[in-house]
Amino acid sequence: MGTLKAIGLFLLLLTVSLAGQAAAAEPAIPNYWDDKERLPKPDLSAVERVRFLTTIDFPPFNFLDSEGRLTGFHIELARAICRELDIVARCQIQGLPWGELDAAMDSGDGEALITGTAISAAARERYTFSRPYLRFPARFVVPRASTLSEPMHKALTEKRIGILAGSAHEAMLRSYFPAARPVTYSRLDWLYRDLRDGKIDGAFGDGMRLSFWLAGSGSNNCCRFVGGPYIAPEFLGAGLAIAVKHDDAVLAQAFDYALREINVKGTFAELYLKYFPVSFY
């Protein structure tokens, strides 16, 4: 690997802050905020209502529980934001089908989307976004007995790494870890089976999805994360942020303030570990 490629890989690796823990401790909590930064608290006294619109079928972010109540990571995060901004009495959360969200915002039925709306150039023409509150890193998973370790770009030489064919993670693996030998799969369950059975040296993919597999019975406790986390917006996108109407910058700034305070006070860490007990960081 050339010097420029090595530098690019170094920049790719996100140094994640740990909330009150040593750098090597687990679980790792993602933190995208500068501890020295101070954001002003916007005045929302003139705002009559803040209604968050979300979906009902995207667990663990938004879903209906056994009693039909809307719950999930996004729901609790929205409530925490409202408490931080002292607008609980004016705060509402409504679940809608994904296809109805944009129309609901256009008609004034909501002030904010907390749904996972992609932060694209087209979306920015329609919405103003808060800063990202959660990004999805790529991760390597290997058998527990594996000796693979950082620096991964060297350790992966000639190693057979399972990857979902045609995915952004395949493109990322080929670009940043060219010494690896990608083994492509058309189905994740086939990839997981071969990893569990020791037919490949490891797998590379979405950290959140891999964390759910590691925590589930399907993995048979076979494997663990190694290396990373790797953040690459050019392959994986900018992450999750709250969208507001394009002309409502004050509300977006208020969400930035609340999100930072929630992180500093440890509320975000509590929610993250509640819904993602196997940290994908």
CA distance to 23, 92, 147, 237, 281, per residue, from 15 (Å): 9, 35, 22, 18, 10
Domain range for residue 92? 50-134+238-275
Are both 227 and 90 inside the same structural domain?
A: no
> Considering the domain boundaries, does residue 10 fall inside one?
no
> Considering the domain boundaries, does residue 149 fall inside one?
yes
Q: What confidence score (pLDDT) does residue 235 get?
A: 96
Are both 222 and 244 inside the same structural domain?
A: no
Are both 57 and 127 inside the same structural domain?
A: yes
Are both 227 and 269 inside the same structural domain?
A: no
Q: What confidence score (pLDDT) does residue 27 get?
A: 79
Q: What confidence score (pLDDT) does residue 17 get?
A: 37
Q: What confidence score (pLDDT) does residue 26 get?
A: 57
Please report the beta strands in the chain, taking only residues with DSSP state E, as ranges in sequence order.
50-54, 57-58, 62-64, 70-71, 91-95, 112-113, 127-129, 138-143, 160-164, 181-185, 202-206, 223-230, 243-245
Are both 149 and 99 inside the same structural domain?
A: no
Give the contacts of 168 (CB within 8 A, at least 6 positions apart). 235, 236
Are both 151 and 226 inside the same structural domain?
A: yes
Mean pLDDT in each 10-residue stretch from start to end of the chain (281 residues)? 43 40 63 90 94 96 94 98 97 96 97 94 94 97 96 96 98 97 98 98 98 96 96 95 95 97 96 95 96
Are both 194 and 129 inside the same structural domain?
A: no
> Considering the domain boundaries, does residue 183 fall inside one?
yes
> Considering the domain boundaries, does residue 24 fall inside one?
no
Give the contacts of 133 (CB within 8 A, at least 6 positions apart). 32, 77, 239, 240, 241, 242, 259, 268
Burial of 277 (0-12, 13-18, 19+ CB in 10 A): exposed
DSSP helix/strand/coil, 181: strand
> Considering the domain boundaries, does residue 193 fall inside one?
yes
Are both 196 and 247 inside the same structural domain?
A: no
> Considering the domain boundaries, does residue 217 fall inside one?
yes
On the CB side of 219, how many CA atoms lie within 13 Å of its CA? Answer: 18
Are both 190 and 255 inside the same structural domain?
A: no
> Considering the domain boundaries, does residue 161 fall inside one?
yes
Q: Copy the structure tokens of residue 164.
A: 């979902």
Are both 121 and 143 inside the same structural domain?
A: no
Are both 259 and 211 inside the same structural domain?
A: no
Q: What is the CATH number of the domain that holds 162?
A: 3.40.190.10
CA distance to 29, 46, 133, per residue, from 269 (Å): 6, 31, 11
Are both 153 and 220 inside the same structural domain?
A: yes
Number of domains observed in the structure of the chain: 2
> pTM score, two decimals?
0.87
> Considering the domain boundaries, does residue 28 fall inside one?
no
